[in-house]
Amino acid sequence: MPLVTTKEMFKKAYEGGYAIGAFNVNNMEIVQGITEAAKEANAPLILQVSAGARKYANHTYLMKLIDAAVIETGLPIAVHLDHGDTFELCKSCIDGGFTSVMIDGSHLSFEDNIKLTKQVVDYAHPRGVVVEAELGRLAGIEDAVNVSEADAAYTDPNEVEEFVQRTGVDSLAIAIGTSHGAYKFKGEAKLRFDILEEIQKRLPGFPIVLHGASSVIPEYVETINKFGGQMPGAKGVPEDMLRKAASMAVCKINIDSDLRLAMTATIRKMFAENPSEFDPRKYLGPARSEIKKLVLHKLNNVLGCAGKA
């Protein structure tokens, strides 16, 4: 099966009350860990590439790794640009074989966000590529952009119908209290399910995307700190909240930080226990296995998309 768009995946996910995992990829071991898990779980999959990942690993290398994953797994896999910030970046990814792009105009005014999103949609759709946009603003760090909590804003349900109708966008990322990175909640985790419910009412059947959805798994943070790390008390989105979102209109759940934590915890432990080791396969191999274990857990127990490929 060649690379697919998210159209069919989202339709089935919406109707089935589950979500597709969108995992960020930056190198071969990450691609392999995620895709081996998806194969074992027989789950549809979105592999997403940020501008930073593209700079780090190079567009062609990432595409070829993803092509290899398609051959190895036979799964429906979509390749998606995460947080595209310009028309040119989206165009370059569309021309380079991505099947889905996100244009993130969430920092712009409503009118400018519509204008930029529509420009990308008008380029993407005739080429068979789907587009995700964002309305509302998450807190946290993406590439060089750091949105403070004070500047973050929940999505206004009053704006969503007009936005979707005027842009022709295929899915919408919303802000309901999640944020990017490993430090999401100081106290108790709170998500505005009332806003999600209202948006779902205004846009029946329309796929919603949840960014900043890592759970910041405590065991990984503990391991990192046990073996020389200094991560302050980190808190992510509880899994039951992700399950609830997936049973509603949320069809795509974005996970990156948990992958980073899994990899870093494994490598720190490995070096602490084997200080003379210097073969990269001896630390990247276990990191890849841990990513596979983590993704299997997400697919089977959190997102509900196992067996749905």
**Residues binding ligand 13P (CB under 6 A):** 24, 82-83, 180-181, 211-214, 254-258
The site map against ligand G3H for 40-59 (x = CB under 6 A) is ----------x-xx------
Q: Which is nearer to Zn ion, 211 or 298 (CB)?
A: 211
Site for ligand G3H contains 135 (CB under 6 A): no
Site for ligand G3H contains 152 (CB under 6 A): no
Site for ligand G3H contains 256 (CB under 6 A): yes
Q: Choose among 236, 204, 251: nearest CA to 19.
A: 251
User: Annotated catalytic, 82?
Assistant: yes
CB 6 within 8 A of CB 20: yes
Element of type H or E holding 304: none
Q: Which is nearer to Zn ion, 36 or 256 (CB)?
A: 256
Q: Which residue is nearest to Zn ion (CB)?
A: 211
Among 80, 184, 211, 308, binds Zn ion (CB under 5 A): 211
Which are the contacts of 183, defined by CB distance < 8 A and separation ≥ 6?
140, 216, 232, 234, 235
Choice among 82, 85, 104, 256 that is catalytic: 82
Q: Which is nearer to Zn ion, 118 or 211 (CB)?
A: 211
255 binds, among ligand 13P, Zn ion, ligand G3H, none (CB under 5 to 8 A by kind): ligand 13P
Shortest Cβ distance from residue 137 to ligand 13P (Å)? 13
Dihedral pair phi/psi, residue 101, rounded to 5°: -135, 150
Site for ligand G3H in 69-88 (CB under 6 A): 82-83
Site for ligand G3H in 10-39 (CB under 6 A): 24
**Residue 47's beta-bridge partner residues?**
23, 79
Helix residue ranges, H only, 82-192: 87-95, 110-124, 157-167
Shortest Cβ distance from residue 142 to ligand 13P (Å)? 7
Q: Choose among 20, 68, 67: nearest CA to 43.
A: 20
Beta strands in the chain (DSSP E): 20-24, 45-50, 77-84, 100-103, 130-135, 140-142, 145-147, 171-174, 208-210, 250-255
Q: Which is nearer to ligand 13P, 155 or 254 (CB)?
A: 254
Site for Zn ion contains 184 (CB under 5 A): no
Site for ligand G3H contains 180 (CB under 6 A): yes
Q: Choose among 11, 18, 10, 79: nearest CA to 46.
A: 79
CB 211 within 8 A of CB 162: no
Q: Which is nearer to ligand G3H, 143 or 197 (CB)?
A: 143
CB 50 within 8 A of CB 142: yes
Specify the 3-state DSSP secondary structure of 119.
helix
Shortest Cβ distance from residue 260 to ligand 13P (Å)? 8
Residues in the chain: 309
CB 206 within 8 A of CB 249: yes
Structure letter (DSSP) for residue 177: S
52 binds, among ligand G3H, ligand 13P, Zn ion, none (CB under 5 to 8 A by kind): ligand G3H
Among 104, 142, 170, 290, binds ligand G3H (CB under 6 A): 142
Burial environment of residue 193 by CB neighbours within 10 A (0 to 12, 13 to 18, 19 or more) = middle
Site for ligand G3H contains 143 (CB under 6 A): yes
Q: Which chain residues interact with ligand G3H by CB under 6 A?
A: 24, 50, 52-53, 82-83, 142-143, 180, 256
Active site positions, annotated: 82
Q: Which chain residues interact with Zn ion by CB under 5 A?
A: 211
